[in-house]
Chains A and B, each alone.
Chain A
Amino acid sequence: MSMDLLKTPITRRRFLQATGTAGALGVVGAGTLPNFATLTEAQATTGKSSGQTVITKSFCHQCPARCGIDVYTTDGRVHAVYGTLDNPLSNGKLCPKGHYGQYLLYDADRFKGPMKRTNPKKGRNEDPKFVPISWDEALDTLAKRLNNLRDKGESHRFGLLFGRGWGATDADLFKDWSALYGSPNIGINHSSMCSDASKKAKLCVDGNYSYNSYDYANTNYILNFGAGFLDAFRPYNFNMQVWGHMRTKSPRTKVTVVDVHTNTTGAAADRSLLIKPGTDGAMALAIAHVILTEGLWDKSFVGNFADGVNRFKSGDAVAAVFTDEDIRNRAQAKEKAAAEKVAADKVAAEKAEAEKAKTQEALAKLLKEQLLAKGNPAAEKAVAEKILKFEKAEAKKALSEKIDREQREALDKDKKPEPEIKAGQAIFNEKWVHGLPEWWNAVLKDCTPQWAETITTIRAKDIIAVAREFATTRPAIALFERGATAHTNGTYNGMAIHSLNALVGSMFAEGGLFYQMKTPWGKLPDKAEDFMDDYAKSPDRKKPRIDKVKTADWPMASNMMQEIAKNHNEAKPYKMDTVMFYLTGPIFSGPDCFAWEKMLGETFVVDTSPYPDETAVFADLVLPDHTYLERLQVASTYPFQGYPMAMIRTPAVKPLYDTKVFGDMLIDLGKRIKGPMGEYYKKVGNTENIIKAIAKGFEEKPGDNGVNGYESFREKGVWFKKPYHWRQIRGEFYEWDKGTKSYSKRMTAEGVKEKLLMTPSGKFEFKAGYLEDEHYVHYIVEKLGIPAEKVGFPQYIPASHAGGGDLHMVSPKLALQAEGRSANLPHATASMQPSVGGRKTVYLEIHPDTAAKRGIKDGDRVRVKSSVGAIEVTARIYGGIRPDTVALPMIHGHWGMGRWTKNSGVSGSTNEVTPNVSEPISGLACYHSGKVFVEKV
């Protein structure tokens, strides 16, 4: 580290100079070494040493969180990546994955330029026999194909599948591309293989199709169902930062973790409960049951019984309205109370009278003594003292009575009048929730902790303890992720858990949870819709998507990537012709991934990864993207602290090889499509133009760190504007007031409905209008066997478990597991913690009893098999997993990724034993619902 750098603040000018220098020293003079510059050559060009270290701002690529990073480059060599200090997400910190950047940049297995396949045969073990081609040839080849499809009216047979989209320079391009080209299959996202049920559960009950922002720093309780808070849950880096705070603040945040095995998250918690897979919803419902029967719900947010009397009693239904009998009973009770008061007053009066008489008697006695003592000065003095003492005591007593009386009067004055209750009036006055008594009657009244124990195997006493803690240690957050939702009942599990947040008043509250605000990006100069030709506008383009989303098969899902290969193979609705992949590899990561081998074997496959992978084994064209430290790219934050935030990647070095950033690939491909579409993309030009245009949005809304346009955005790497705009305080919603710098602008119910609780009722719906919608209700009845009148309620329905085995299997993500690529990073593989892996491999966690029954010892090779397939792996005996469950991290088992994955010890993807089963409402692939057999090899 050059000390000059530290002493002198980096000015914009110096920054540019330095970056320029680094770039020039970078690599590959265009035209000299068209494709295969080797690393050694790359290094050779950096021989001249200035010793100056340049810090480039970027953001991480290893998970969706988007932590700001400082990339350290000296003499054209990236040698370190640290968290950016003045970035509110990374705060100078990183998770372990964040430090992989330099390894990913210099990955020895990277593709060095565009290539085409020369071996027409495709298969796992077929060498594609790639030969290098120029970018022009590569894009012309693809464009010709796409133009041909258009000429034949078959443009829908081109699909573009993607995983981690970052925003304006990639995922946001798909909509226009899809419309202009005329295919509904451009931009099908992997969200259904990610976490769509989390979003869907929230949509059902609070109207937001989104992940949450969580105010962890101010929460006092976290109830976590199946989210790897200290393993993989995003933003992992920030989770850990706030963990350090939560666990040492006063009062310390208490944490209960519900999962199927003890991972780091569970081990660090105050209470770890191992639940039967797929039954989290039952536990959440029982917690709700306890909260209601014990009167622990937040009255200011939820509301209360009109007369303040808790009628939630296990097994008993609550009437909707007061009946005549209620009114009579209430009147009788009132009368009885009045009569009791009269009697009590009478007793008190008598007692006071007797007290008074006693006082007078005592006084008379003293006066008598005074008379007798006359003439005897000593006795007179003694009596006088007695009288004085008596008078003082009396005065004190009188004062105390007066104060008592005044206080009682004051209290009476402040007392709210008894609510007027009429027959026919609602028994429960709901404030910001909808359908609570109905939910209780239809579902909750029977969801006792004892009932839940029989389903979840969690003891009733633990459920009661958790419920009491959760509801009384506020603010409290109920958190959930795929552990609870990647099951056939996932959306309902999620709804049940999320409902707990409403019951304790955490929605939009300090220490609670809310939703992410959007970045005020600027607009692009040209509108794509002005460049649509007749072909694109033709009604013939209205084809169903290849994943059958929004058809009768998947009417409610957003994406169904895991269905694509199956649909293609069955030619329902049709066969694809050309498929392009961007940051996704379902041939490895999709459930029952074998189906993809068939599909990719008979389609024209375009892979855009900078690295070899299983998709590339089947690829006809390889169009390698830059790695992230070479990219110029922008993004908005994933749900974080609610206030809007955006980040930018600036290249730390010039691209090492002949690669092209994906967005520019897509734009350059667009330029080659005949007609006005080509004109549009010529106008767009490149992704840098897009970034410059949308960064203009910051001119009007400068960030808190002074970022007010493209240049300052590049310098800081992040734009953000605090605070989050809304807050619920004791049952009322407020907007932030800039003048008073407080949440003080009271919101109307309409405002809340429009901005925050976007359900049909504008409230948190325990009776979800979204599910009761006439378009969906019959589908849910048919798919999940729930009676129509019950579909709206958070409820427990047993999950179904495909695969045919006798042990549940889960495939978690690890803390050291970078997105998609860590299997080929020896630095990652070598350091996997030993309970799950370490050194060369990852292990199948298996309970000692389960292992013993199968004659399996620690370190034995075992076969994991299901109706889908079988893989071989090494067993790790672990007492921290349920006896009915095995866990195998999803990192290893690659067969096309690079030299370091060849001896991983895991013979195949976990998806070779994971059935392709999806949750009907959200479409989420049920990665954790499969059952397998495990046997010694």
Chain B
Amino acid sequence: MAKWGMVIDLEKCTGCQACTVACGMENNRLPGENWQDVIFFTEGMYPSAQLKWFPRPCQQCENPSCVAVCPTRATYKTEDGVVLVDWNRCIGCKYCMVACPYGVRFYTDEKPLVAPDMRKVHDSHDSHSWNPPWKMPDAREDWKHGVGIQPHDVVSKCTFCYHRISKAPPGTPDLDPQDPKLREFTPACVVTCAPGARFFGDLSNPNSEVSRMIGDKRGVRLLDQLGNKPQVYYLTGDGGAVPSNRAINKKV
């Protein structure tokens, strides 16, 4: 069984947010409900001024804090290494959101980021929380794996595009979007990443490029000291650094 993981090369990442927008399109996210986000930091004054960015999907931890705290076992880890939410079981208690050190979980019924509320403009007459005209094919919806438009009062998160990767031929070491045979199984953010900063593959397969890159290019994990063991690795090269936790007070 594969252990899916992602490698993000920060030296190549241009901060364009195509990953965020492609994810929102593929997974029918609301404005700002960015399962895959790019976080921007600014610091200092020219000539020391810095503008940095940090792409952040769900870290798909080996030891996920969210799974441990879920009272209904709605949040679970699949055999192929992905943390998912079963919307049939989720009661929206948000324990997982508190437990997650990476802030990658979203509660459905938040106040809309941009008014008027898109959920009202494209309202749903059934158990879905909204009904956009661009929503994914009906056959793809899979609440057990947190795929599709979720019902009200649940938590949602990045699935590594589980509806895509779970159909990949068994034993595939890497899901390379430039390979026409594998493209449709590759997560949306990896497919579209123009500078080619994202790689997706089987961390348990010694023949995968992702395994090799983690070794050769000194892949690091976010907040590794917490012991969650993310399955998302960052290559920092000369281009960037994994940001530490810090609050920036911009008030002068």
The proximity string for B residues 47-61 relative to A, scoring 1 for CB distances below 8 Å and 0 otherwise, is: 111111100000000
Q: Which of the residues A1, A43, A274 comes within 8 Å of B133, measured between beta carbons?
A: A43
Asked if A612 lies at the interface with its beta carbon under 8 angstroms from chain B, I say: no
Q: How many angstroms between the C-alpha atoms of A262 and B44 in the bound complex?
A: 12
Partner among B26, B51, B114 whose Cβ is within 8 Å of the Cβ of A839: B114
CB neighbours (8 Å) of B194 from chain A are 93-95, 237-238, 240-241, 243-244
Interface size class, chain B: 35 or more
Contact of B16 among A3, A815, A827, A851 (CB under 8 A): A815
B250 within 8 A of A: yes
CA A274 to CA B47, docked complex, whole Å: 8
Residue of A nearest to B48 (CB): A879
Q: Give residues of chain B (21-58) contacting chain A, Cβ–Cβ below 8 Å.
A: 21-22, 24-26, 28, 31-32, 34, 38, 40, 42-53
Complex interface: chain B residues within 8 A of A83 (CB): 192
Interface residues of A in 892-908 (CB under 8 A from B): 899-900, 903
**Is the beta-carbon distance between B251 and A240 smaller than 8 angstroms?**
no
Give the Cβ gap from B19 to chain A, nearest Cβ, in Å. 8
- B115 CB to closest chain A CB, in angstroms? 6
Could you tell me if B38 and A99 are in contact, using CB atoms closer than 8 angstroms? no
Q: Is the pair B164, A831 in contact by a Cβ cutoff of 8 Å?
A: no
CB-defined contacts of B192 to chain A, threshold 8 Å: 82-83, 93-94, 98-99
Binds A, one of B99-107, B137-145, B226-234: B137-145
Instruction: Give chain A's interface residue range (CB within 8 Å of chain B).
Output: 35 or more
B252-A851 in contact (CB<8A): yes
Q: Say yes or no: A900-B116 contact (C-beta < 8 A), given A78-B134, A857-B252.
A: yes
Interface locus among A100-108, A488-496, A587-595, A699-707: A100-108
How many angstroms from the CA of A93 to the CA of B192 in the assembled complex?
4
- Beta-carbon contacts under 8 Å, B177-193 to A: 177-178, 180-181, 183-184, 191-193
Query: What residue of chain B has the Cβ atom nearest to residue A1's Cβ?
Result: B184
Task: Say whether A80 contacts B26, CB under 8 Å.
Answer: yes
Quick one: closest B residue to A90, CB to CB? B194
- Cα–Cα, bound, A857→B44 (Å): 16
Q: Are A833 and B49 in contact (CB under 8 A)?
A: no
A573 at interface, CB cutoff 8 A: no
Residues of A within 8 Å of B38, CB to CB, are 833
B114 touches A830 (CB 8 A): yes
A contact residues around B21 at 8 Å (CB) = 96-97, 99-100, 816, 827, 831
A85 within 8 A of B: yes
Interface status of B17 (Cβ within 8 A of chain A): yes
A541 contacts chain B at the CB level, 8 A cutoff: no
Give Cα A555 to B62, complex, Å: 69
Q: In whole angstroms, what is the CA distance A262 to B46 when docked?
A: 8
A363 within 8 A of B: no
State which of B12, B20, B22, B183 has its C-beta within 8 Å of the C-beta of A244.
B12
Which residue in A49, A92, A100, A230 is a CB contact (below 8 Å) of B183? Answer: A92
- The residue in chain A whose Cβ has the minimal distance to the Cβ of B52 is A267
Most B CB atoms within 10 A — which of A77, A839, A877?
A77
Q: If A831-B34, A833-B38, A839-B32 touch, does A77 touch B252 (CB 8 Å cutoff)?
A: no
- In the assembled complex, the Cα of A51 lies from the Cα of B251 at a distance in Å of 54
List B contacts of A877 (CB < 8 A).
250-252
Asked whether, in the complex, the Cβ of A230 is within 8 Å of the Cβ of B16, the reply is yes
Residues of A within 8 A of B40 (CB): 833-835
The reply to whether the CB of A253 lies closer than 8 angstroms to some CB of chain B is: no
A247-B118 contact in complex given A267-B51, A833-B17, A879-B42, C-beta closer than 8 Å: no
Is A317 in the interface zone, CB < 8 Å from B? Answer: no
CB neighbours of B133 from chain A (8 A): 39, 42-43, 77, 106
Is B195's beta carbon under 8 Å from chain A? yes
Most buried by A among B116, B177, B250: B250
Closest to B250 in A: A858
User: Which B residues are in CB contact (< 8 Å) with A243?
Assistant: 12, 14, 194-195
Name the B residues within 8 Å of A92 (CB-CB): 177-178, 183, 191
Does A198 sit within 8 A of B, measured CB to CB? Answer: no
Which residues does chain A contribute within 8 Å of B181, judged by CB atoms? 6
Contacts of A899 in B (CB 8 A): 116, 121
> Which residues of B lie under 8 Å from residue A248 when comparing CB positions?
9, 11-12, 237
Measured between C-beta atoms, what is the minimum distance from A245 to chain B in Å?
A: 8
With A77-B135, A106-B133, A831-B34 known as contacts, the answer to whether A85 contacts B16 (CB < 8 A) is: no
Q: Which residues of A contact B140 (CB under 8 A)?
A: 1
Determine if B32 and A830 form an interchain contact, defined as CB atoms under 8 angstroms apart. yes
Chain A, Cβ-Cβ closest to B118: A826
Chain A, Cβ-Cβ closest to B19: A96
| CB pair A105 B118 closer than 8 Å | no
A268 at the interface (CB under 8 A from B): yes
Q: Assess whether A878 is in contact with B137, with CB atoms less than 8 Å apart.
A: no
Contacts of B180 in A (CB 8 A): 85
Task: Assess the B43–A879 pair: CB atoms within 8 A.
Answer: yes
Determine if B20 and A106 form an interchain contact, defined as CB atoms under 8 angstroms apart: no
Interface assignment of A53: CB less than 8 Å from any CB of chain B: yes
Confirm or deny: A829 has a beta carbon within 8 angstroms of a beta carbon on chain B: yes
B136 within 8 A of A: yes
Residues in chain A near residue B114, CB distance under 8 A? 826, 829-830, 839-840, 900
Q: Which residues of A contact B51 (CB under 8 A)?
A: 262-264, 266-267, 835, 880
For B47, the chain A residues whose CB sits under 8 A away are: 272, 274
Q: Cβ of B212: which chain A residues have Cβ within 8 Å of it? A: none
- Are B25 and A840 in contact (CB-based, < 8 A)? no
Q: In the complex, what's the smallest C-beta–C-beta distance from B144 to chain A, in angstroms? A: 18
Measured CB to CB, the closest approach of chain A to B48, in angstroms, equals 8
A820 at the interface (CB under 8 A from B): no
In the complex, whether A352 has a CB less than 8 A from a CB of chain B is: no
Shortest A61–chain B CB gap in Å is 15
B151 vs chain A, min Cβ distance (A): 19
**How far is it, in angstroms, between the C-alpha of A77 and the C-alpha of B139 when the chains are bound?**
13
- Which one of A102, A264, A266 lies within 8 Å of B25 (CB-CB)? A102
Question: Is the CB–CB distance between A96 and B20 below 8 Å?
Answer: yes
The answer to whether A827 touches B11, judged by C-beta atoms less than 8 angstroms apart, is no
| A771 contacts B by Cβ under 8 Å | no
Q: Which residue of A lies closest to B196 (CB)?
A: A244
Q: Is A157 engaged at the interface, CB distance under 8 Å to the other chain?
A: no
CB distance from A810 to the nearest CB of B (A): 15
Q: Are A858 and B11 in contact (CB under 8 A)?
A: no
Cα–Cα distance between A655 and B88 once the two chains are bound (Å): 37
Complex Cα distance A857/B249, Å?
A: 11
Which A residues lie within 8 Å of B191 (CB)? 82, 92
- In the assembled complex, the CB of B6 is this many whole angstroms from the nearest CB of chain A, namely 16
Q: Does A881 contact B (CB under 8 A)?
A: yes
Given contacts A1-B164, A833-B53, A880-B46, contact A839 B113 (CB under 8 A): yes
Q: Is A917 an interface residue (CB 8 A)?
A: no
| Residue B220 is within 8 A (CB to CB) of chain A in the complex | no
Closest to A903 in B: B115
Please give the distance in Å from A691's CB to the nearest CB on chain B.
Answer: 27
Are B31 and A830 in contact (CB-based, < 8 A)? yes
B46 and A6 within 8 A (CB): no
- The answer to whether B223 has its CB under 8 Å from any CB of chain A is no
Determine whether A632 belongs to the interface, using a CB cutoff of 8 Å to chain B: no
Shortest distance between the CB of B93 and any CB in chain A (Å): 26
Cβ of B197 < 8 Å from any Cβ of A? yes
Whole-angstrom distance from the CB of B249 to the nearest CB of chain A? Answer: 9
Seed contacts A74-B136, A241-B194, A880-B50; 13 additional CB < 8 Å A-B pairs: A79-B137, A80-B26, A99-B22, A230-B16, A248-B237, A264-B15, A267-B15, A833-B53, A835-B42, A877-B252, A881-B46, A899-B116, A900-B115
Q: Which 7 pairs show the lowest CB-CB distances between chains A and B?
A: A244-B195, A879-B45, A830-B32, A102-B134, A240-B194, A880-B49, A830-B31
Q: Which B residues form the contact surface with A (CB < 8 A)?
A: 9, 11-12, 14-18, 20-22, 24-26, 28, 31-32, 34, 38, 40, 42-53, 112-116, 118, 121-122, 132-140, 163-164, 167, 177-178, 180-181, 183-184, 191-197, 237, 239, 250-252
**Can you list 18 pairs linking A and B with CB atoms under 8 Å apart?**
A1-B167, A51-B137, A77-B133, A78-B134, A79-B136, A83-B192, A85-B180, A230-B16, A244-B9, A245-B196, A263-B51, A266-B51, A826-B32, A830-B32, A831-B21, A833-B38, A848-B45, A857-B252
